[in-house]
Chains A and B, each alone.
Chain A
Amino acid sequence: MNDIWYGILQAFQLIYTLDQDLIDISVRSLKVTLSALVISSLFALPLAAVLAVKRFKFRRFIIALLNALMGLPPVVVGLIVYILLSRSGPFGVLDLLYTTAAMVIAQIVIITPLITSIAHQSLRELWSEYHDLLISMNTSHIQRIKTLLWDARRALLTASLAGFGRAIGEVGAIMIVGGNIDNATRVLTTAIALETSKGDFALALALGFVLILIAIALNLATHWLSKTEREGRW
């Protein structure tokens, strides 16, 4: 119990004193996660809309596959990305292993199926509501997709936030492909894992509290900015 109180105390102290290591690690965590989130959302959200609107061969298979990949073990993703980016791998020439770019790639692989599946659920419901109207208005596929993405934007934000939550808390894959190198690829989760293995529970807890604070603050800010749950709005 003392460790927890000490951890809380140290977390506040680290935040209050704007500890440089803490700031560097937190900023790196945010940079990696937000980069993965933006790139993943740019791909996942339109894909979810296409899956909702268009009927094509293997559509059901793709949806089932994406649902299955939601539970992809991060360590396995880390291993596969590691093999692909290692010197003997097909993308070894890019020299990305043990960089933040490799960590972003691993996170994209992990969160894309999650964001796509959650977004697809919302868009499928909206499409069943809009189907007759948009067909009768002779809209093109692109117009339908744009309309769905815009009108479901708050549900899509929730899908993206779920992806953010998964990515910021991820440790296995980024540990493998990033290497947890000090001042280079160390992020909050890998730093927590390291401090725990060293027995420095207080610092690990402090970093943990910061991680939780960042996740909550970003979620609250997004909800506030997007006016979710505001009276009279969707």
Chain B
Amino acid sequence: MFPLIAENLVVEFNGKHILGPIDLTVNKGDISLILGPNGSGKTTLLKSLHGIMKLKRGSIKWSCSNNSSMKKQMFVFQTPIMLRRSVFENLTYPLLLRKVSNSKAHRLATEWVEKIGLKEIMHISATRLSGGEKQKLALARALIIEPEMLFLDEPSASLDGKTTVEIENLLKSCTKNGTTIMMSTHDIGQAKRLAKNILFLNKGILESNQLTETFFLEPTSPNAQKFITGEIVE
């Protein structure tokens, strides 16, 4: 499936330039975090790479067919989308879509519902969960199929510290299983804790793509330097 190669990626919306041109390569096992100010195009880049956003120009190539790659990647949205089903049924849903047997789906969902601490409330409607619980469930629903590629759009935005730690732990454990992660965040601390490399995006342009250590020590982009030090990036 890897590498993922994006070439000359350009996205426009209603004639307005949103993103690009961007050239990017994602290798297996990468944990890439996208940093950048509001409106810099982080979500657009994630959605484009995932294949759910129409490109104006450019291409996204996996080493396997697009259809096959789509089955091996998952996306976790900033505002978790819950199916109007129970917590348990939300977990079995992606498995049953992939024709996993009922018994295996139930076994895996039982394991995961315990792992994310929602066992006691697994039969209530997922729409009744708190924001943090919904985000954990959304992440578990993505991880339950053991995706090779996971896209996350600010998964811990507006969550409390405890839930953020739980989500980061889930992400760390899935990277041990070989899942490649690309995630957007506003949280510089989270970038330091999780990322192997950091993409800095500003006004739709990828201004830097560096290893985490070098990004924080010697950012190649002046805007990235401003962002790290907490200055307003214009």
Verify that A and B bind, or say they do not.
Answer: yes
Answer whether A233 and B125 are a contact pair too, CB < 8 Å, given A132-B77, A133-B81. yes
Residue A137 lies at the interface, judged by CB distance under 8 Å to chain B: yes
Q: Are A136 and B52 in contact (CB under 8 A)?
A: yes
Size of the chain B interface, CB-CB below 8 angstroms: 19
- Residues of A contacting B128 in the complex (Cβ-Cβ under 8 angstroms): 232
Return the contact of A130 from the options B67, B70, B81, B97 (Cβ within 8 A): B81
For B71-102 the 0/1 string (1 means CB < 8 A from A) is 10011010001011100000001100100000
Q: Are B81 and A139 in contact (CB under 8 A)?
A: no
Q: Are A234 and B77 in contact (CB under 8 A)?
A: no
Residue A226 lies at the interface, judged by CB distance under 8 Å to chain B: no
- Residues of A contacting B83 in the complex (Cβ-Cβ under 8 angstroms): 130, 133, 147, 151
Residue A143 lies at the interface, judged by CB distance under 8 Å to chain B: yes
Tell me the residues in window 182-200 of chain A with beta carbons closer than 8 Å to chain B beta carbons. none
Size of the chain A interface, CB-CB below 8 angstroms: 17
Tell me the residues in window 63-122 of chain A with beta carbons closer than 8 Å to chain B beta carbons. none
Tell me the residues in window 111-136 of chain B with beta carbons closer than 8 Å to chain A beta carbons. 124-125, 127-128
Question: B77 — nearest CB in chain A belongs to which residue?
Answer: A132
Closest CB in chain A relative to B133 CB, distance in Å: 15
Q: How far is the CA of A184 from the CA of B93 in the complex (A)?
A: 49
Q: Is the interface of A mostly helix, strand, loop or mixed?
A: helix
Q: Are A234 and B127 in contact (CB under 8 A)?
A: yes
Answer whether A232 and B94 are a contact pair too, CB < 8 Å, given A133-B81, A135-B52, A151-B85. no
Residue among A137, A147, A233 having the largest count of chain B Cβ atoms under 10 Å: A137
Question: B126 — nearest CB in chain A belongs to which residue?
Answer: A234
Q: How far is the CA of A152 from the CA of B85 in the complex (A)?
A: 10
Q: Are B77 and A138 in contact (CB under 8 A)?
A: no
Residue A215 lies at the interface, judged by CB distance under 8 Å to chain B: no
Q: Are B81 and A137 in contact (CB under 8 A)?
A: no
Closest CB in chain B relative to A194 CB, distance in Å: 47
Q: How far is the CA of A136 from the CA of B50 in the complex (A)?
A: 8
- Residues of B contacting A151 in the complex (Cβ-Cβ under 8 angstroms): 83-85
Q: Are B94 and A137 in contact (CB under 8 A)?
A: yes
- Residues of A contacting B75 in the complex (Cβ-Cβ under 8 angstroms): 132, 136
Residue A229 lies at the interface, judged by CB distance under 8 Å to chain B: no
- Residues of B contacting A234 in the complex (Cβ-Cβ under 8 angstroms): 84-85, 125, 127
Q: How far is the CA of A123 from the CA of B70 in the complex (A)?
A: 25
Question: B94 — nearest CB in chain A belongs to which residue?
Answer: A137
Q: How far is the CA of A136 from the CA of B51 in the complex (A)?
A: 8
Answer whether A232 and B125 are a contact pair too, CB < 8 Å, given A137-B97, A151-B85. yes
Q: Which 7 A-B pairs have the closest CB atoms?
A: A138-B70, A136-B75, A133-B81, A151-B84, A234-B84, A135-B52, A232-B124
Name B residues whose Cβ lies closer than 8 Å to a Cβ of A: 50, 52, 67, 70-71, 74-75, 77, 81, 83-85, 93-94, 97, 124-125, 127-128
A-B contact pairs, 26 of them (CB 8 A): A126-B84, A130-B81, A130-B83, A132-B52, A132-B75, A133-B77, A135-B52, A136-B50, A136-B74, A136-B77, A137-B74, A137-B94, A138-B70, A138-B71, A139-B97, A143-B97, A147-B83, A151-B83, A151-B84, A151-B85, A232-B124, A232-B125, A233-B125, A234-B84, A234-B85, A234-B127
